[in-house]
Amino acid sequence: MKLKTVLLTCVIGALAAGPAASQNVAWTQAVPPLKIIDNTYWVGSADLAAILITTPAGHILLDVGVPQNAGLVKKNIEALGFKVNDIKVLLNTHAHFDHSGGLAKLKADTGARMIASEGDTYALEKGVYPGSETQANLNFPPVKVDRQVKDGDTVTLGGVTLTANITPGHSRGCTTWTWPVKDGARTLTAGAFCSASVAANRVTGANLQYPGIVADYRSTFAKAKTMKIDVFLAAHGSFFDLAGKRARIAPGAPNPFIDPAGFQRLIASQERAFEQTQGAAR
């Protein structure tokens, strides 16, 4: 009885403190930077993406993680031999504090242009979780968006072109960025999947996170099934088994990050999890 009470208190305490306090330790855990393929590098923490795409005209940084990951990301970039000041463009998978929190700091340090989806611009510029504005623990340092993109728009720097594929639901403007990479003589498509997990979103009842969220999730599942992502990356390392794939890198072995089936498996499992919430609501 006593243990039960203690456990219950812990759970309630963690819930009251919110995601910032109960977050996975992997979110802020430093790991060595890693070349994924060609000009594409993981410079994030053990679980939160920061993806560096280098070009002859400067670099692109996609996501930074929580605010306190800014230093870790900068260190990882320098450890690879690149200059933080050469970052010219900042991109974002989605405007939640665990992926956007460090963008304002990187923008201030580098003067890079912040390019983001129309759907997530409000959240980025206010530093809030739309529909949960009163939850201060979800807030993050706001960042000014210099250019807004729609589905299919492209961003080019130094001859490298990334495409914004809007995959809404997890956030209104959730963006899956794709770009070509060289693997020997062939060209593959790298992609960083935004997310289609339910997470903190209200997806049932009258008080939805935002109007149209259910249809948005379903449109994303349908769209993702038609997308071919060869080099599968995502907003969270756990979505594509970053640690397991890192361990499988070996001279002469196939690049473990070339995993189009892994992308489709993630979509199928996130779709199942989403539809379970809808089934329960009926």
Q: With CB under 5 A, what is the number of residues at the site for Zn ion? A: 1
In the bound state with Zn ion, the residue whose beta carbon lies nearer, of 77 and 116, is: 116
Shortest distance, position 240 Cβ to Zn ion, whole Å:
15
Residue whose beta carbon is closest to Zn ion: 96
Rule CB under 5 A: say whether 172 interacts with Zn ion. Answer: no
In the bound state with Zn ion, the residue whose beta carbon lies nearer, of 58 and 141, is: 141
Binding string, 49-88, against Zn ion, x = CB under 5 A? Answer: ----------------------------------------
Shortest distance, position 97 Cβ to Zn ion, whole Å:
8
In the bound state with Zn ion, the residue whose beta carbon lies nearer, of 106 and 123, is: 123
Residues 185-224 that bind Zn ion (CB under 5 A): none
Rule CB under 5 A: say whether 236 interacts with Zn ion. Answer: no
Query: The tokens of 264 are what?
Result: 């489709």
Rule CB under 5 A: say whether 96 interacts with Zn ion. Answer: yes
Shortest distance, position 199 Cβ to Zn ion, whole Å:
5
In the bound state with Zn ion, the residue whose beta carbon lies nearer, of 174 and 188, is: 174
In the bound state with Zn ion, the residue whose beta carbon lies nearer, of 96 and 172, is: 96
Residues that bind Zn ion (CB under 5 A): 96
